[in-house]
Amino acid sequence: MSALRGRAAVAAGGAPYARRVRVLVVGSGAREHALAVALAADDDVSDVLVGPGGPGVADVAEVVPLDPLDGAAVAALARERGVDLVVVGPEAPLVGGVADAVRAAGVDCFGPSAVAARLEGSKAFAKDVMASADVPTAMARVCTDVDQVAAALDAFGAPHVVKDDGLAGGKGVVVTSDREEALAHARSCLEGRPGAGASAVVVEEFLDGPEVSLFVLCDGRDVVPLAPAQDSKRLRDGDEGPNTGGMGAYSPLPWAPEGLVDEVVERVAQPVVDEMARRGTPFAGVLYCGLALTSRGVRVVEFNARFGDPETQVVLPRLRTPLGGLLRAAATGRLAEAAPLGWSSDAAVVVVLAAGGYPAAPRAGDPLSGLEAAAAVPGARVLHAGTAAGADGALVASGGRVLSLVGTGATLADARAAAYAAVAEVGLQGGQHRTDIAAASAALAEEVGA
């Protein structure tokens, strides 16, 4: 009876804690802005700090100066400011051990340890864990010289997939039918990064079929999936152009097979969490499962050890369960108490506005206009990524991905209309965005009446 009541209290957003919690979000992208919005909407959260954040996130949080890679500084700030929960957004601090430093200072932290974050930090490590846990993924060879790469390319055949072993901000992967281009990428990865230690590339079999991003919350033992989303990684409409960090996303997926989420939990997420626990390096945080739905079944394309950007911007607006309690449950080994989660039937679409020159050489310093009009579009929300205050105090672009324009609505078509109406209000010289985010799925949803 009391256990049941406890579960109901968490699911209904009741207070499982003695007092309201203060949360520090580490990072400065639109993903962190989306996290701050959702945390600020949780009645059990008293206030949200974001460091280093940016001027845009001040609408929902206190912006604090912070070096996100400096674990001692993050831990010290959390202690000084009486923070109850630190949520680490990006991968580099996790791989660098920021979550370990925060926990060592006695503060709860949502985000895996440095050793567990190797699931993202090393593609070769992720492949090894998947092999041990019998998780379906692309066949792959880890190569440390160009001759090995050439042999692997010939063994798997075209199209070729060549990946930098280490962190590369989503840009370390080349998929091409041109053998010379595949070899050239491998060469640049192998020679590339001075001081980065022994380098390796992973050559993989090509996976066909649509991609799905599924975030699975983990507390080291139990796992709870969020709603699936789809990200558009290529720069231009029709999935043309170079790979980027992500140019848009939407949720739900009207075409996703029934049972997909359960299948991924059973065949992917739970086995990986079990294997990490067996190795003595439990994974707690969010396991981002990047999946391909191939003609031969679900395959893992990659793991990330953090929330995806921009998928988070469309998953969190649909989540009804208060986020602060949920992340704290994951951080403290009590995730089972937080399930099942509540979801809105609404749809969400995010369109990313990127600076001119992104991804190769983004232009900084161009003025932004129309943000108030964009925010006033019904169903739209403006989330900031690469924005800064210019000399006269007006906002200017300061990064590759500048804004996330999020639309929500009863259907994907409504959500899409809201997101694109917001995009139309924003002025940014040389700005780039895709015009086809969620287009095919919105049409499909209308057809099937989803």
301 binds, among ligand GLY, ligand AMP, none (CB under 5 to 8 A by kind): ligand AMP
Whole-number Cα distances in Å, 89 to 196, 249, 325 = 23, 18, 17
Binder to ligand AMP among 34, 94, 149, 161 (CB under 6 A)?
A: 161
Binder to ligand AMP among 181, 211, 274, 436 (CB under 6 A)?
A: 211
Q: Which residue lies nearer to ligand AMP by CB, 83 or 173?
A: 173
C-beta separation of 117 from 100 below 8 A: no
Which phi and psi (to 5°) does residue 71 adopt?
A: -55, -40
CB of 300 to ligand GLY, least distance (A): 14
Does 130 sit near ligand AMP (CB under 6 A)? no
Q: Is the Cα dihedral 255, 261, 267, 269 positive or negative?
A: positive
Angstrom distance (rounded) from CA 360 to CA 362: 6
Binder to ligand GLY among 170, 228, 322, 325 (CB under 6 A)?
A: 170
Q: What is the separation, in whole angstroms, between the first and last Cα of the chain?
A: 38
Binder to ligand AMP among 42, 302, 337, 425 (CB under 6 A)?
A: 302
- Enumerate residues 226-255 that contact ligand AMP by CB under 6 A: 233, 243
Q: Which among 41-49, 70-78, 167-175, 335-343 is the span making contact with ligand AMP, rule CB under 6 A?
A: 167-175
Q: Is the Cα dihedral 367, 369, 375, 380 positive or negative?
A: negative
Does 436 sit near ligand AMP (CB under 6 A)? no
86 binds, among ligand GLY, ligand AMP, none (CB under 5 to 8 A by kind): none
CB of 92 to ligand GLY, least distance (A): 12
Binder to ligand GLY among 205, 311, 414, 425 (CB under 6 A)?
A: 311
Does 425 sit near ligand AMP (CB under 6 A)? no
b/e for 403-432, b at 16 or more Cβ within 10 A?
A: bbbbbbbebbbbbbbbbbbbbebbebeebb
The DSSP code for 342 is: P
- Enumerate residues 262-291 that contact ligand AMP by CB under 6 A: 290
Angstrom distance (rounded) from CA 416 to CA 436: 9
Does 26 sit near ligand AMP (CB under 6 A)? no
C-beta separation of 88 from 99 below 8 A: yes
Residues that bind ligand GLY (CB under 6 A): 170, 231, 246, 304, 308-309, 311
